[in-house]
Amino acid sequence: MSADSAASGAASAAEAADREFAVVLARLGIDMPPDLAPGVLAGYRSLRAQMELLRDGERGGTDV
């Protein structure tokens, strides 16, 4: 994978995570102050990667 395509993949994963989190907040009826959003979204992207790691493990991709 080229550096460009890796960067593109990371960017699209981040966008997907941000969209996913927006849906969660809407479902929960939580209004997040816009100026606090970048830090929250950065945290959620990182957390999403952790959740993916455990899902991969369940599918046999990781030694747990």
Partner 1 sequence: MSEPDAAPDTVASRPGGLAALSVAEAGALLRAGRLTSVDLVEHALSRIEAHDATLHAFVLVLREQALRRARQADSDLRAGLDRGPLHGIPYALKDIFAAEGVPTTNQSWLTVSDTAAEDSAVEGRLRAGGAVLLGKLATYEFALGGPSRDLPFPAAVNPWNPEHIPSGSSSGAGVAVAAGFLRVAFGSDTAGSIRGPAFHCGVVGLKPTYGGVSGHGATPLSHTMDHFGPLGWTVADTAAAFRVVAGPDARDPRTRDAPVGEGPDRLTGDVRGLRVAYSTAWYASDPATRPEIVAGIERALTHLDRLGAIVEECELPPYETLNACGRIILAAEGFAVHERDLRGFPRSFGRYTYQKLMPGAGIGASDLLRALAVRGRLVEDFRHRVFAEHDVLITACGQATASRFDDFPTDWPPPRLANDMQTIPFAVTGHPAMSLPIGFAGDGLPIGLQLVGREFGEANLFRAGAAIEAEFGRRDVRPPAFGTGPDATRRRSDPDAEAADVRR
Out of 6, 10, 12, 20, point to the residue binding partner 1 (CB under 8 A).
Answer: 20
Residue 6 in the binding site for partner 1 (CB under 8 A): no
Would you tell me how many other CB atoms lie within 10 Å of the CB of residue 17?
19
Rounded CA separation 2/5 (Å): 5
Residue 10 in the binding site for partner 1 (CB under 8 A): no
Rounded CA separation 18/27 (Å): 14
Shortest CB 4 distance to partner 1, Å: 23
Hey, is 58 helix, strand or coil?
helix
Give the binding site for partner 1 (CB under 8 A): 20-21, 24-25, 28-33, 36, 38-40, 42-44, 46-48, 50-51, 53-55, 57-58, 62-64
